[in-house]
Structure 1
Amino acid sequence: MAERLRLMPGAEIPETMLGIGDDAAVIERREGPPLLFTIDSMVEDVHFLPDIPAEYAGYKALAINASDIAAMGGRPLAALVSFVAPRQTDVEWLDAVYDGFAQAASFLETPLLGGDTAVGPRIVLTVAMLGSCPDTAPVLRSGARPGDVVCVTGRFGGATGGLRILAMERLIRKPEEDYGHPGLRLLDRHLKPQPRLEAGRRLAKAGATAMIDVSDGLVADLGHVCERSGVKMTVEAMSVPIDVDLEAVADKVTHNVLETALTGGEDFELAVTLPPDAFKKAAAAVKGTGIPLTRIGVVEDAASREGDDVLVLQDGEPVRFAQPGWIHFEGK
């Protein structure tokens, strides 16, 4: 779909702007830092279950847009929200969604400037967010170079673990009885993602060459960077940091912990490429935000080998997955 939009007549982008292909569009200005603009929608029964507490849906809708800003090394400035819902939707549910918007806006220090409402066949939450890069140039997906190291913030698989618990428990009845405190923390990872805004800015200052937030799945999103940068990557599977709470309840939520971590998606961590000599400085900078930065692989010349853009190795052998992550418009 993005490629179709890129090729549409009249879709030419002025030289002062960067359009389709990154986590956010970039608008250069004659004076002041460049602006970032992003938009995301969450659709009922696609991106969230209809029976979750409504405030979580509102919170997440704002947070995932902030994660796009984080992936550019920026900070959010303001947001607009749009709400589509069936006519019979309970007013208290709608109020709770707006409470979630307000909680996220306060946490992210991002004012809500307004928005729109409409009646439709199912609930759709859309957020448009404006940001800026006051300290560095925006970090794009297209800057990875052969020899760079591939790194990630945080740990992986927790959000997918939380989704699976939620799907099994549905009304979040009492998951602590079946999954204990690890299960509750996994639910929180899924329902209230934490955009890595400060980490993104510190990585930009440390010399990040490319960056993306991990929403579709780590392997899939690294593939997006490879596509934009014209490179390939090799990832050491055992180097990928896995959510300890996922490992604690793995027998109840997944048949394959590694696959869940590498392809599950919605962790909203940052995947970043760095020159090798910048890693130590970047890791120290990110550690100051309370999360780790882990080296998991290397960027290679696209002509160095045949096959997939992202090669995952375990004990020196290629690891294959049914799919690398979320596939848009197929809903899986």
Structure 2
Amino acid sequence: MTSRLERPDGGGELLTDVGEYHVHELIENLINGDGPRVIGDDCAVYELDDRESLLLNMDRLPLNVETYNRARLCVAQTLSDIFCMGGRPCSFMVALTLPRGTTLAAVETLMADLSAELARYDVRLVGGDTKEGQAFHMVGFALGRAASDRLVRRTGARPGMVVGVTSAKAKHWGLRWANALIRELDLSVPPATEALCRSADEVIELPEAESRAAIDTGRVRAGLDLSDGVGGGVRILARASAAKMVLDGGALATLPDQRLRPVAEALELPLAAFALSPGYDWENMYVVDADGVGDVVDSVASVGGRFTVIGRIGEGRGVELDGLAIDEKRLPVDEKFARDYVWEQRFSAWRDDCRAILGNG
């Protein structure tokens, strides 16, 4: 099957002409066609029977991840999708490409780190694959189980419903992203702020209990994990459900950690910009029944987390922020094949997009 993005003569549009999300849409259309929706959610779903489904998810670790963060990020990005859809992960596999000069000690450390991260979620490492290559690569694969009647898919958002996000252990957002910004943009901030952000990069708390508490209310109608940030979540849900996302800037401003003000000032951005980080907070976005939002808030709080309402589903299509239509392509996301910048330049691109949407600090 030949797509319009790749032709036998080598012509046609490039991935950078359309961006990552259009590539996703193209693949979904090719696979799903006019039949049942097979792909397009956070995980692949295999229905065992009317009561139980298997959730399968695969994620490749990005390039240039720090050695100390490889196992942590691989586990987080692979399990996050399963938790978001309402599943309980049980088994994990990993595929590694290792350069010839890798030491045995490095492999031992990586596997020990991987096992320790998985143990936090009571998940077993059961196998994988190892190959030689010129550069390090790591791919995680996880298998989980979920109640078929509680699966959270990306479709299902309808006008009048409410949009909210989790905060694992009620923490505030932005510290891990701020750490990356300080490093990559060489920002001058107080030493205490730099140390705070650096320490936040040493742990990732997935909203496991919070997601389960929200879903168990029976009031969640759609959702996805925020591996691409709020901007990515808004764009993806709006497309999947053919809906308008109406965002509340005041609610978004309550999400970031107040201790990040020196970083926001160094960037000449309002603190609210850290609610729009491109995925470094590893939370989930859910669309819930308007008359059930109180149940969701209380249920998530009962396990020590927080569920913050950040908007609603409106009539029509598109994205609004505080009553004003905005270009959804300016929403900061962790998008690959981006037209306007290469992935390594996402830090400055994020700053420019936030200034366009939120103004200067």
TM range (shorter): 0.7 to 0.9
- Given the two structures, how large is their TM-score scaled by the length of structure 1? 0.83
- Over the aligned positions, Cα root-mean-square deviation in angstroms equals 2.7
Matched, 1:79 2:88: no
In 2, distance between residues paired with 1:139 and 1:39? 18
Q: Which residue does the alignment assign to 1:232?
A: 244
Assess, with a 3 A threshold, how the Cα gap between structure 1 residues 151 and 7 changes in structure 2: closer, same or farther.
Answer: closer
Q: Does the CA contact (< 8 Å) of 2:89 and 2:144 recur in 1?
A: yes
Check conservation: 1:56, 1:97, Cα contact below 8 A. Answer: no
- Is 1:242 the equivalent of 2:287? no
- SS at 2:150's partner residue? coil
The corresponding residue for 2:83 is 70
Asked if 1:221 is matched to 2:240, the reply is no
For 2:198 and 2:89, locate their aligned partners in 1 and report how far apart those are by CA, in whole Å: 25
Task: Tell me what 1:302 maps to.
Answer: 316
1:269 maps to which residue?
Answer: 283
Separation of aligned partners in 1, 2:146 and 2:261: 39
Give the 3-state SS of the residue equivalent to 2:179 in structure 1.
Answer: helix
Q: Percent identity?
A: 22
SS in 2 for 1:43: coil
Work out whether residues 161 and 290 of structure 2, in 8 Å CA contact, stay in contact via their aligned partners in 1. yes
The CA deviation at 1:66 is 1.2
Q: 1:7 to 1:220 in 2, by over 3 A?
A: closer
How far residue 280 of structure 1 moved from its aligned partner, in angstroms, is: 0.7
1:30 alignment partner, one of 49, 52, 59: 49
Secondary structure of the 2:293 match is helix
Q: Indicate how the Cα distance of structure 1 residues 317 and 199 shifts in structure 2: closer, same or farther if over 3 A, else same.
A: same
Contact 1:150 1:297 in 2 (8 A): yes
Give yes or no for contact 1:190–1:266 (8 Å, CA) kept in 2: no
SS at 1:117's partner residue? Answer: strand
1:205 equivalent among 197, 216, 220: 216
* Residue 57 of structure 1: aligned partner: 70
1:82–1:115 Cα contact (<8 Å) kept: yes
How many matched pairs? Answer: 309
Q: 2:109, 2:34 → 1: CA distance?
A: 39
Q: Match for 1:3 among 14, 19, 25?
A: 25
Aligned partner of 1:172 in structure 2 is none
Per-residue deviation, 1:96 = 2.1
Question: Which structure 2 residue ranges, 5 or more long, are not aligned?
Answer: 1-22, 347-361
- Structure 1 pair 279–228 and aligned structure 2 pair: CA distance change class (3 A): same
SS in 2 for 1:59: helix
Q: Determine helix, strand or coil for the equivalent of 1:133.
A: strand
The secondary structure found in structure 2 opposite 1:39 is strand
Runs (5+) with no aligned partner, structure 1 = 170-174, 304-308
Distance 1:267 1:277, change over 3 A: same
User: Which position in structure 1 is the counterpart of 2:356?
Assistant: none
1:1-332 matched pairs, under 5 angstroms? 1-8=23-30, 19-30=38-49, 32-45=51-64, 48=65, 52=66, 54-134=67-147, 136-154=149-167, 155-167=172-184, 178-180=190-192, 182-206=193-217, 207-240=219-252, 241-244=254-257, 247-251=260-264, 254-256=267-269, 257-302=271-316, 309-313=318-322, 317=324, 322-330=330-338, 331=343, 332=346
How far apart in 1 are the matches of 2:325 and 2:28? 34
CA contact (8 A) 2:86 2:152 kept: yes
Distance 1:43 1:208 in 2: 31
Give distance in 2, aligned partners of 1:185 and 1:35.
39
